[in-house]
Structures are given as C-alpha cells and as structure tokens.
Structure 1
Amino acid sequence: MAEETGQHGDPPRVRDVVELRVHGVSGAEPGIILGQGPARQVAGDDSGGFHRAERSDGGGPDGVTLEAYRWGDLPSGTVARTLSLVLLLPFMLSNLAVWMRPTARRSGAWVTMLCRLLALDLTVLYVVSTAGVALDLLAWRCLGATRCRGPFDAVGGLDGRQVGLRLAVLSLLPIAAVAFLRLLGTRRPRPAGKPLWAVEPLVGRLRAIHVAAALAMLDLILLAARVSGGATAVTALLLTLSLAVLLGCAGLLVVPGLLDRAAMTWMVTRTAGTLRAVAVGLTAATLAAIVLDERAWPSAAALPGYDTIATWALLGEMILLVSLSALVLWHHGRGDRRRALSRGLGSAVVAAFAVGLAGAFSANLVYQSGNLLDGYRGDGGPPVPYQWTLLAFFLHVTVGVLVCVALTLTTRRRRRRAAAAVTARDFSTVTPEGVGRLRQVTNAVARARFVEWVGLLAVAWATLTLIGLAAGLLRLFDLTPDELATRFLGLPVGVVGMGLALGSYFAAAAVIALLLGGVFAYRTPWFRRHVGILWDLGTFWPRAAHPFAPPSYADRAVPELAHRITQLTERHDGVLLCGHSHGSALLALAVLRLPPRVRARVALLTYGSPLDRLYARIFPAYLNEEVLRQVGERVEWRWLNLWRDTDPIGGWIFAAHRPGDPPPDPTDPAGRVDRRLRDPSDLLPAPGERRPPPMRGHHPGESDPEFRAAVSELVGRLRRSG
C-alpha cells in the first residue's frame, strides 16, 4: 500500500480504506469477526478493543484494511459482574423503561416522572423487604416473640437484650444492603489514558435521592414500631422529619424536567445532597432514640406497623404501574396495535416486568427466610402483603403465558399467509424436489414475522397489571389469600397456602435459574447469544431512572468508536463502518458524534440491523426515523442496509424493496439505502454440492457475495468522494 508523508510531523497517510467491523450482541472473537485467524489488539483494552489480523498490513478482500471492534465484555466482563446484573435486573428494567417513553413531549414527561417514581419505590421496597428479615423476623420474632430454629434464636448474642438495642443493631443489615447496591452499581475504573469515558450526569443526583429515601424508609419502620406504644416529642419529631425526607425525594422526581434541566443542575444537586445528609443524621438519631427509650414495647406477634408499611409500599408500586399503563394506553388508544410499542407502550411493559420481578424477589426473600428460620409458625404465616404479592405474580405470569400462547396460535395463519406470499415471489418455479425446502423457508419467514405482532402482546401485558392492583387493594382488608378463598370461594383450608408455597419455590427456582444463566451466559458463547441481548440492551442506555442499575457501556463504546474513526480518517483515505445487529446502533450513534471533516470520509454498511424494526419502535423518542435520516445525511447517504425476510431481529430501515413493492421516490436518497437479500439463495443444492444453500437468518455473513458487493460499492463511493 502506498503512503504519503504527512506535513508538520503528522503521521503518514495510507492510501487505502479501512473496513471497521462492529459485532452485535455476544459477538465472536476478533479473529472470527475478521475471518482471518489470530488477531492482535491495536487500540483499546481487554474489555473494548480494536483488533487486526496478525499480518502487519491487516489487509483484506476488496483492497481494504480489516479492523474489528470487540465490545462484548463491556456489559459483563467477569462472572461476578454478570451475576450482579441478575441481582440488579429489576433496577435495570426500570431504567430501561424510561428510555421507551413516547415522542409527545407532554406525555413523555409524565411517563418519565412515573418511571422515576416507580424506580424510587423499587428502592424503598428493597429496604422494606430486607427490614422484614432483619427487623421483623430476626430482631422481633426470633429474638423475642417467637423462638426460631437454632442458631437463629441467639443471633449475635442479642437474645434477651432490650428490644430497642436488638432493632438498632440489626438495622445495620438493611443499611449494609443499601451499601451493597451502591457498590454493585459503581462504574468500573476507566481505562488508563482514556479520557473518553463520559459521566452520566443524573446518576449522582439520583443516587443521593435514593439513598436518602432508603434511609428515611428504614427510620419510618423503626419509628412506627416505637410510636405504636405511644409517641414522645422526640419520636414524633423524628417521624415527621423522616416523612418529610421521603416527600422531598419524591418531590424532586415529580416536577417535570427538574432533574434534566441544565439551569437547575446546581440547585437539584445541592438539594439532593442535603436530603441525603439529613437522612444520614436522622438514621443515627433514630437508632439512638430507640436504644435510649426505656419504655416498654407493645406485645405483638409481628413488628408493629411493619405490615401496614409493606402494604402501602407494594400498593404504591402497583398504583404507579397501573397509572403508567393507563397513560400510554389512553394516549395511544387508537391505531395499529401491532405498532403499539412505537407509541411508548414498551415503557409500561418493561416496567411491569421490573415490578413483577422486584415483588417476587422481595416476597420470596421474606417467605423463604421465614421458612429457613421457622419464624412464622403460629401467626398465620408470612406477612400478608407478601402473600398477596406472590399470588399476584403467579397469576400475572400464568395469564401472560396463556395470552402469549394464544397470540402465537391466532396469528400463525396470517403470518404464514404473508410468508407464503414472500417465498412465492422469491421462488416462482419450484421443482418437486424443492417443495419440502420451500416449506422450511416459509416457516422460517413466518416465525421471523412474529416480532411484528409483539405490540398486541404488549397491550395485553400492560392491561394485566390490573391483577396486581386488585391484589394490592385486597391487602387493605387484612385477609390472607387462603382466608379469602375459603370464605368467598368455598375452597378447602390450606389450598391457596399450598399454592403460595409452590409459587415461592418457583420464584426461588427462577432466581437460581437466572444466576446459573448468568454464569452460562459468560462461559458459554452459544448460550450467551440467546440471553445476552437482555444484558446488552439493558445496560446500553445510561442510568436516567434508577442509580443502582448496572452502569452503561454505551458512554464508553460510542465515544471510543468516534475517537477511533477520527484517528483512522487522519491516516487513511476513508473508513467503511460495518455494523451487525446491535453494532449498527453503536455505529449510528458514533456517526452522530463525528465532526464534518471526519464524516466526509466515512461510509456505513449495516446488516441484520434492528434500528427500525425494533429500536425505532421500542425507543421512539430517541431512535426514530428523524434520527436515522440524520445519520444518512451525516454520511451523505453513503449507506447501505442489508436485510433478510428470515431474520427475526433485523430488517429494513426505510423501504422493504420486496418483489412487487412500489418503487421508492427517486428524489428521496433514503429509498436507496435498503437492499433485500433473498434467503436462501436457492432451494436446491448447486451442481456438485450435496446440501442446499443454508438459510442465513440473523447470521452476519461478511464473506457472502452480497456483502462483499456492498463493500465494494461503498468503497468506490468513498474513493470517488475523496
């Protein structure tokens, strides 16, 4: 390759084009991405690095220099970090929900507010459930009212000690649990010498708000138990201040745009920090107050006031969730239900999953801890709020699965009819030997089209949140599910209780399965390809709702890509960006960050891209058609997108270009971006071959002739523009 000597000490310019490949979710090793065997790292680090083949020139087909960006370890990286994603899954989903808001400014602001309040309630529920184990079960029951199974009947030598002292000492467990969340959500150290790691501006403020609310809720639980036997001036004042801190935390989230407004940054940061400092002081004062208060505590089987607080925490969660679902359903009640996700309904669906998982985790923690310690015997079982939570979770999941199965069956005929029309145009003449193969292709296309009907499932799932709200309201009547079933349904005593026990074991098994799945996802590439999309998509977006969610990797990957592209354009004639699947989203965002002088030497090739088919519908306020057109304009429409009808994830971005479709507007450059690839290329084996051409589906296919032809075309455009 010819080089030109740079001026003023600049590095020499290499007379060629770099083909920079960015893999999708759970991408392969760099050598496989490059298709050239062993590779060496030329930039970046072990978590996110740029690689070229071992050959010094890095040369590849079509006269380009091949380079791969491997970012697959950024979302996880280690077994411990992958397991932490499982523990933080409800928080991650609640954070993801806020990015799915609708495009309308007014409704989008309300959705953002509700998502942030719901995320705050998840933190509160986390504290309530850990306090249920530490304070209600251990401090009150095992060391006092109920003699638990040994050695838990003498935890830390607190057996027989004053009640206030027991509560104060064991309050350190919920405090440690909050600190543990804070530790898990901490960003990994930035790479040495890499000033590219952007700071998520909201995390500090949100973290202060959530820590303040968590400590205030712990104080509220302790003080509610203390004032149940009569309030003093000190406990009344502390109780009032704790409620004020909780309301102040919620108030910072309620005012639309307050956290996001640049002009208010200093004021909100100062206020949130003050609330956190006040909450820390209140917690210290509360612990001291209950230890020094020598009055007798009321005699009760359970910690006084705990059931009421847990009930309202769980009910508040369901009220927020139903309000969120009702808002998006009402605002977008008309139109094509199959595109419901593009109208912001995804936020309600993902929030429902977050609430369901958080409720199941919390209820199961209390339920199984009580079984382990044998601390609920003789008083009707675990706290009533958690019994209803387990029942609501079981009903919601059961009905949701039935709805999913029904939707799959009822749409099968329409999906297959549409798929048959596609394959009939692709393979107009079919020999008897190819009939079976044609049937396989038609089935593959029909399965791939199911994603276009997920909007209907989203509507149904959002509507099912009423089950949780109904269960939450029934908690207010202080009836257990078993009592209600016996009194009104005539079921035998213990039937529902047995079902709740099975549901609890099922939830525990689900947690174990998630943990094992995290380990297998890290250690087993084929398994990671199936579950990795949850982690990679969930940790892609910065933390804008829950500060304890896993940190985003996009705020490193996107600037790092933009920086590397800039470096390459300074030394080479141009850079062809090739993004598969989720890699196309990383490249699209990187293009938006490039300066004009760099964009003039860049072209874009996407394949198996979910930018329009999924992302523009799921995240309509951030990755919509307007943003995608901006990407095309930035690269002066040197952009090609390859897609297949057998791909269940990727698709076209601007126009399908199926056989028989009307031709696109010749004046619109977006109409020339998409290239549909027939898949498979033929039904029967080629002469001399034993097997027919494979169906590619979502497979990258960088060595396919169609891919290489697209590379050659874009490289030619780059060289002509230069």
Structure 2
Amino acid sequence: MSTGSAATGGLAPPEDVVELRVHGVSTPAAEQMAQTPVQVAGDRNAGFYRARPSCAGTDRTDTVEVYRWSDLPSGTMIRTLSMVFLLPFTLLNVAVWMRPGNPGTDAAVRALCRVLGLTLTALYVLTAVGVALDLTAWQCMSSPDCLSGRSWLSWLGGRPTGLRLTALTAVPAAAIALIWWASTRPGRTFNAFRPPESTRSGHPLSTVGQWDAEPLMGRLRSIHIAAAFATLDASLLAARTAHAQGPAPATIVLTVATGAVLATCVVLVCTPPLIERDPTDPRLDGIARALRTTAIGLTIVVVVDVLAAPADWREEGGLPGYAPTLTWLFGTHAVLLAALVSVTLRPRGQRSGHRRPRYFGAPAAAAAGAGIAVAFSAELVRRVADLLDRNASAGQVAIRPPPAFTWAIYGFFRAVLITLVVTGLVVLLTRRGRTRAATAILARDFPNPPPEAVARLRQVRQAIARARSTEWLPPLVVVYAGLGGLGAATTVIDLLGEHPGDVIQRYAQVPAGLIEFGIGLGSQLISATVLGLVIGGIFAYRTPGFRRRVGVLWDLATFWPRAAHPFAPPCYAERAVPELARRITYLISRGHLVVITGYSQGSVLVAATILQLAPRVSDRVALLTHGSPLRRLYARFFPAYFDDDMLHEVGDRVGWRWVNLWRDTDPIGSWTFSGHRPDTPPTSTGPSATVDRRLPDPAGLVAPPGDSVPPPIKGHSPGESDEAFVAATRELVVRLRAGQPTGPGDDSPPTPS
C-alpha cells in the first residue's frame, strides 16, 4: 500500500497494517518521528502524519502514521505562561477526578470542590480589590506622602473617597472580564470533536471524550462570574456601610441582594443534578445566565450608590471589612478541606481493590491548589504594598496589607520548609532499600560484569534507585497538602488581632527577629516560586527535553475535563480521544488492521480511546505501550478511573494483543499487570501476565565493538528505534493478522524472526 492511496481514500487490501503512534509529553514532532511526513488529517493544533511505507515483505507494519497532539496542552508561549497562573484552578479541577472509587461519595466530592472553587474565584477578585481599592484608592490616595512623586496616582488625590473607589473599581472589574474572556476561548476549538459512536463500556473512564463539558462549563462560568461580581459588590458595600453617616437604606437593600446572589451561587454548585442535567436544556442555561446578569446589574447599582455617598468618610486603617473578609475566606478553606477529607474517607459504596491511602488524593490536590492561590495572592498584595510604601518614614502612615496575608505567607513558608525536611528524610531513609533492590536487579541483568565496568555499574544502580523514588511521591504530596490546610486554619487567629510573630514568640519562645526573618524569607520564597514557574513555562515551551521532564505533571492535570472550576485550562483529551477514535474507526473501515503504539502520556490517551471503540473496530486493533504511567501514576492518583477493571477491559477489547515495554530506570513508566522483576515473583496470571515485558537498561555496560562509548541509560526516553520495540511491533502484527489473543509470557522481548 502507498501513502497516496490512503490519503486519497482508496480501499486498501484487507491485510494492510497501519502502525499509529501516539507520542508522549513533548516528544519530537512528526517531522523527526517519521520519514517524509505528510499531514493526512487534523489541523495545526493536532493532526495525523503519514510516514513513508516500510519495505514490503516484512512482518512489521506497512505504514507508519503519527498523531501529533503536543500543542493541545500548551501551544503558544502566552498560553503556556498563562497556565502557570491558572495552576490553582487546575489543581482544584484535578481534585474532582482524584476521588476514590466510591460511588456513594461522588456527589459530595464534586459539591465540596465546586464550593471551594467559588472561594478561589472570590480570592481572585479580593486580590484585585486589595491592590486597587484597599492599598491604592483607600490607603495611598488618602496619604500625601504616598502620592508624592506619583503623577499617575495624584490625579485622584484629594478627590472624594466615593469617586476614588468608583474609579478604581474598573481594575477588579477588568480582571473579571479578562478571565471571563480567556475561559470562553479555548473550548471552542474542541467543540467539533466527538466520538464516532457511543461506546458500550460501562467503566467511568469511557466518559472522557464523550462528555460534552461545554454546557456544564457555560453554566459554571456564569455562576462564577456572578460570584465574582457579587464579591466586588460586597467589598464596596462593606466600605459604604462603614461611612461616617452610617449605611443608607439603599445600601442595606443592596447588601441583602448581594448576599442573596452569593447564596444562590453556593446552592447551585452544591446541586450537581441541577447544573449537570440535560446539556441541551435551555432552562438551566437561562437560570445561570439570569444570575450572572443580575450580578452585573447589581454591580452597576452598587457603584452608583458608592459614588453618590457623602464626602465625609472615615479613612483610617485599611478598607473597611476587607481584612475580616479575607480571614473568614481562609477559614472557609480549612472547613471545606476538612469536610473533603471526611467525605473521601467514608466507606459507603466502596469498590473492592482500593487502598485507603489513595483516598487522600482529592483533598491533597484541593489543599495544594488553595494553598498556592493564597500564597500567590498574599505575595502580590504584599509586593504592591511595599512599592507604595517606599517613601514611608518615621511618623508617617504606612501602607500595610491585611494581616491575614502575613499569616498566609507564614503558613506557606512553614509548609514548604517541613515538606523539604520530610523529603530529605525520606530520601535518606529509603536509600538503602532502593539501592539494595537496584543491586539485585543488576545482578540478574549483568551477572558477570567486566572489571572496567565498575563505574558504569554504579551509574546504572543510581539511576534505578532514583527511579524508584517516584513511589514516595503520593505521601509527600499528602504531607504538603496537610500542612497547607493547617496553614489555612491558623489564619483564623487573625480574627483575634494577633500577629504571627507575637503568637510564636509568646508560645514557642522564638526571638521576634528570627520570626520576622522567616516571614520575609517566606515572601521571597513565594516570589522565587512564581519566577521559577514562569521560567519553567518558558523553558517548557522552548526546550522539548526540559518539558519532557516537568511537563508530565501538567499534561497529567490537563488530561481531565473541567468539572470543578471553569477558569482552569481546557482538557486536551476532549479533542484527542474522540479524534483518535474517529481516525482508528476510519482506518478500520478502509480495510486496515491497526497497531496503536502509545508512549508515556500517549498510552493514557490510547487506553481511553480503546474504551471508545466499537467491538467491530477493537477486534482489528493491537496495542503497544512503552514508558506508560498507567499503573505507576494514574492508578495511584485516580483510583476511580484507572483500576484493574479498566486495564482488564482494555486488554479484553483488543483480544489481549497488548505488549507493554518498561524499564527499571524509568521514573514515570512502569509495568501494568506484573513487574516480572528479577527480585519479585509475577503478580498476575492468565492473559494479563503476557502483557508486560521488562527491558534491561542499558543494553550493556561497556562499549560494543565499533563504538567508543557504552550504551546509554535510556530511562523514560522513547524507544521506537529500539530493537525490542521493532520486535514487539512485528509480533503484534503477526498476532493481529492471525487473530491470536496471547503471546509469550517471559519477561524478555521476543527474538526477531
């Protein structure tokens, strides 16, 4: 078969086999993965590239086709950098999908995460309010010292307070409009991608790619925009209520109306059937839009009320009501996280085969997202306060951020410091066990190493030991999340008027200077974290090798459809999975057999895709995965969606024509059913025991003849050019053509014929 005949739609001979490769995180583009590529489907964001046909007469594939999807999660540099600042929303969205395999708690987990999402939206608005209204309009513009030398602010200096607040209300309003606009754009690209037909799989993972998330996101987006404008209204009304002449009757009515809007938002997100019901129901869309319109109209009335207020305002201190609102918001975070822990530990409706430690995934991700959001907000407000306060001296009124932000910075510093200490202890305490296991593996793979390979043997042992450190990632995440939740709880101490330094000095007998140094260091740490994320985003966009190391976490997060927060980045699986299902169905309809090869994150996309295929299609498909995180990462963090039932269903659908290649030096990919390690017995029987093939890495300890360096340690690198990959592909082609369901069960790659 030729490439041209496939591209033009000619019917191919029934025995032609297409090898469809799905790459991982930032693997080389199609131009590097295939020879003379021609795009045969898709667009510039994602597409299928056809390679030059292989030589005829082989037992491998007749045609290689590559699905390139790497631009879907990131794309342009601006979009990549924007994702850095959307990280809290992303983590909260992931928390919904990290719930345990416990149907009885699904609704409660979704409701709690969505309410927590509303608080993050409120925090986003309150951060803009703190910068524009509290620090600038209220504190700085009422101080001649702060306005001195700042012509860009002095034009409002001396103006009535109501006018200043009204003018600078444009800043938080613009921030709301910006994130509203940004959240509506990405989803439009994926609207046209739907599976070719409904799947018969009953597993929860089969909904990925079939679920039209845009109606839900449209409703959630309207609710969050309503909550955002209501938060802005509440901030303005709190200041108006503290007016020297007291609140006017109109102000009281507006306050009640604002509270009603906020309460309605909470009720709506706590009622999943109301917002998740029929996506085409116009009544539900109308309710959400009406609430959003009401909130926007209410904001206009509130601004007019503030502008019309008399000129005699009490302007001492910070913006009235702002600091207590922040403190209560952080306390609400702690309460919601505690409720989330309680719900996820509930045994009702528990499915068998899930261990209790996995249940901490949802609260851990939610706590991490909330903690990062609070830290980012606190640092931004604190930096702006320092900028405005640069001319303050003895006897002058200082521009100060709310004390709750100081507590937040202290909590972030404490969480990071303790987590780093615990991480160091874990690395030290587990080193001996990891090294012992690595030594046993090397003793099996290289029983008689030559004397000149001692140094190389040490490098390989260290690589295997480092790769096994991934097993300790989940408990460390739980440690950080727990400390972050504790930090949110301790912020409530601010309601007593206590400063972190005073409390610690009183009860821990720590010198005040050391405490202030720690808080300042925490502030610098947050700034360094933000800067590091920005630099990391730039390098991840520009440097494929760097992105391959750090991008797996981002691609793991954005694999999931948005379900908790509408401002999170869009899910690339909403396009990739249906697009893959359509392409495979098309190839089968043209008379091809298909061998799907999925590397790293690509293996996750492939597993979800196979659950979308009709039986008449999956019966003509074989599967090869390599560097796959299905067991090591996804089964640990998403037990409700990646479990043994799902893996066995994927195997059954392809007739167990499935080979998974993995290496002990790989910190991300691993075995799927049974490790077949030299130091452990097989843990699976039946057809699943034939899936995993452990590849010794490296191929040798000394330089082979004709080479000057020893074979490299490949770790998580792709292996399309490896002999083991070629042999596994050839074996699957033979089994696919013969209709054989199983293959050899040893832990070594098949010998090429």
**Which residue identity lines up with residue 408 of structure 1 in the other structure?**
V
Shift of 1:146: 5.9
Q: Secondary structure at the match of 1:66?
A: strand
Aligned counterparts, 1:130-145, within 5 A: 130-145=128-143
Q: Partner residue of 1:353?
A: 368
The equivalent of 2:265 in structure 1 is 249
Aligned to 2:175: 177
Structure 1 residues 156 and 575, CA, compared in 2 at 3 Å: closer, same or farther?
Answer: farther
- Greater mean deviation of Cα atoms: 169-178 or 251-260: 251-260
Q: Within 5 Å, give how 1:337-376 maps onto structure 2.
A: 343-374=358-389
Match of 1:296 among 284, 287, 312: 312
Q: Is the 8 A contact 1:448 1:646 kept in 2?
A: yes
1:615, distance to aligned residue in structure 2 (A)? 0.5
Per the alignment, residue 209 of structure 1 pairs with 223
Which residue number corresponds to residue 76 of structure 2? 78
Aligned-residue offset at 1:318 = 2.8
SS at match of 2:146: coil
Q: Which stretches in structure 1 are left out of the alignment for 5+ residues?
A: none
Q: 2:731 aligns to what?
A: 713
Conserved? CA contact 1:153–1:159, under 8 Å: no
Deviation string, structure 1 residues 497-552 (Cα, Å, up to 9, x no partner): 44433432332232222222211211122222222223322222111011011111
Change (3 A) 1:707 1:447: same
Q: What SS does the aligned partner of 1:252 have? A: helix
Deviations 1:601-627, CA, capped at 9 Å, x for gaps: 211110111111111111111222212
Asked if the contact 1:133/1:369 (under 8 Å) is kept, the reply is: yes
Mapping of residues 110-129 of structure 1, within 5 Å: 110-129=108-127
Tell me the alpha carbon deviations over residues 551-571 of structure 1, each in whole angstroms, 9 at most, x when there is no partner: 111111111111111222223
2:691 counterpart (670, 673, 687): 673
Q: Once the 2 structures are TM-superposed, how far is the Cα of residue 665 of structure 1 from its aligned partner?
A: 6.3
- For residue 57 of structure 1, report the CA deviation from its aligned partner: 7.7
CA distance in 2, matches of 1:458, 1:493: 31
Structure 2 CA distance for aligned equivalents of residues 120 and 5 of structure 1: 53
Partner in structure 1 of residue 10 of structure 2: 11
1:602 alignment counterpart: 621
Q: Which moved more, 1:641-650 or 1:455-464?
A: 455-464
> 269, 291, 294: which one pairs with 1:278?
294
Between stretches 483-492 and 117-126, larger displacement belongs to 483-492
1:374-523 equivalences under 5 Å are 374=389, 378-379=397-398, 381-485=400-504, 487-488=506-507, 495-523=514-542
- The Cα of 1:166 is off from its aligned counterpart by 1.4
8 Å Cα contact 1:340-1:456 kept in structure 2: no
The answer as to 2:240 corresponding to 1:222 is no
Distance in 2 (CA, whole Å) between partners of 1:378 and 1:190 is 50
Structure 2 distance, partners of 1:457, 1:661, is: 26
Deviation at 1:150, TM superposition (A): 4.4
The amino acid that maps onto 2:270 is V
Tell me which of 637, 657, 679 is aligned to 2:676.
657
Deviation at 1:153, TM superposition (A): 6.7
Range with bigger deviation, 280-289 or 253-262: 253-262
CA distance in 2, matches of 1:45, 1:293: 56
Residue 592 (structure 1) aligned with residue 591 (structure 2): no
Secondary structure of the residue aligned to 1:675 is: strand
In 1, the alpha carbon distance for the partners of 2:420 and 2:4 equals: 63
Aligned partners of 1:143 and 1:153 also within 8 Å:
no
Q: What displacement does 1:471 show? A: 2.5
- Cα offset, 1:395, TM superposition: 0.8
Residue deviations 1:678-702 (CA, integer Å, cap 9, x gap): 2223333434544333222112111
Comparing 582-591 with 627-636, which one deviates more in the overlay? 627-636
Distance in 1 (alpha carbons) for counterparts of 2:444 and 2:356: 29
| 8 Å contact from structure 2 (residues 132, 171) kept in 1 | yes
Please point out which of 54, 64, 67 is paired with 1:66: 64
Contact 1:609 1:651 in 2 (8 A): yes
Q: Deviations over 1:82-130 (max 9, x none)?
A: 1111121111111111111111122343322222221111111111111
SS at structure 2 position matched to 1:476? helix
SS of equivalent residue, structure 1 residue 396: helix
TM-score for both structures, normalised by structure 1: 0.91
Q: Tell me which of 291, 313, 331 is aligned to 1:315.
A: 331
Structure 1 contact 110–256 (Cα < 8 Å) conserved: no
Identify the match of residue 578 of structure 1 among 588, 594, 597.
Answer: 597
Of 693, 718, 743, 1:700 maps to 718
Contact 1:52 1:58 in 2 (8 A): no
Q: Report which stretch shifted further, 144-153 or 312-321.
A: 144-153
Q: Which amino acid in the other structure matches residue 355 of structure 1?
A: A
For 2:725 and 2:556, the matched residues in 1 are separated by 26
Q: Matches of 1:151 and 1:16 in 2, distance apart?
A: 76
Partner of 2:197: none
Over 3 Å counting, the alpha-carbon distance change for 1:192 and 1:84 in structure 2 is closer
Contact kept? 2:193, 2:578, Cα under 8 Å: no
Secondary structure in 1 matching 2:16: strand
| Contact 2:667–2:715 (CA under 8 A) maintained in structure 1 | yes
- The CA deviation at 1:493 is 5.4
CA change 1:4–1:371 in 2 (3 A) is: closer
Range with bigger deviation, 368-377 or 573-582: 368-377
**Aligned residues of 1:605 and 1:639 also touching (Cα < 8 A):** yes
Q: Tell me, in whole angstroms, the C-alpha distance in 1 between the residues paired with 2:315 and 2:703.
A: 82
Residue 156 of structure 1 and its aligned partner are, at CA, apart by 7.8
CA distance in 1, matches of 2:134, 2:399: 15
The alpha carbon displacement at 1:380 in A equals 7.8
CA contact (8 A) 1:84 1:184 kept: no
* Structure 1 residue matching 2:184: 3-state secondary structure: coil
- Indicate how the Cα distance of structure 1 residues 253 and 609 shifts in structure 2: closer, same or farther if over 3 A, else same: same
One-letter amino acid matched to 1:370:
A
User: How far does the alpha carbon of each residue in 1:10-37 deviate from its partner, in whole angstroms, 9 at most, with x for none?
Assistant: 7322441011111101111213223x3x
Per the alignment, do residues 366 and 576 of structure 1 end up closer, same or farther by CA in structure 2, a change over 3 Å counting? same
Amino acid at match of 1:49: G
Alpha-carbon contact 1:339-1:617 (below 8 Å) kept? no
- Residues 85-164 of structure 1: pairs in structure 2 closer than 5 A: 85-145=83-143, 147-150=145-148, 152=150, 155=153, 157-164=155-162
For the structure 1 residues 152 and 241, does the alpha-carbon distance in structure 2 shift closer, same or farther, using more than 3 Å as the test? farther
1:32 is aligned to 2:32 = yes
Q: Distance in 2 between matches of 1:177 and 1:679?
A: 51
Correspondent of 2:45 among 44, 47, 52 = 47
Uncovered stretches (5+) of structure 2, i.e. residues with no partner: 195-208, 741-753
Residue identity matched to 1:218: L
Distance 1:410 1:100 in 2: 28
Indicate the residue corresponding to 2:584 in structure 1.
565
2:227 corresponds to which letter in structure 1? A
- Give, in whole Å, the separation in 1 of the partners of 2:479 and 2:189: 45
Q: 1:4 to 1:214 in 2, by over 3 A?
A: closer
Q: Which residue identity lines up with residue 672 of structure 2 in the other structure? A: I
Amino acid at match of 1:553: Y
* Bigger mean CA offset, 419-428 vs 571-580: 419-428
**Does the Cα contact within 8 Å between 2:327 and 2:492 map onto a contact in 1?**
no
2:202 counterpart residue number:
none
SS in 2 for 1:202: helix
Give CA-to-partner distance per residue, 1:458-484, whole Å, 9 cap, x none: 342343235313421211111222343
Mark the CA change 1:193 to 1:655 in structure 2 (over 3 Å): closer, same or farther. Answer: closer
Matched-pair contact (CA < 8 Å) for 1:206–1:546: yes
**Contact in 2 for aligned 1:149/1:374 (Cα 8 Å):** no
Q: How much is the aligned-residue C-alpha RMSD, in angstroms?
A: 3.1
Residue 267 (structure 1) shift: 5.4
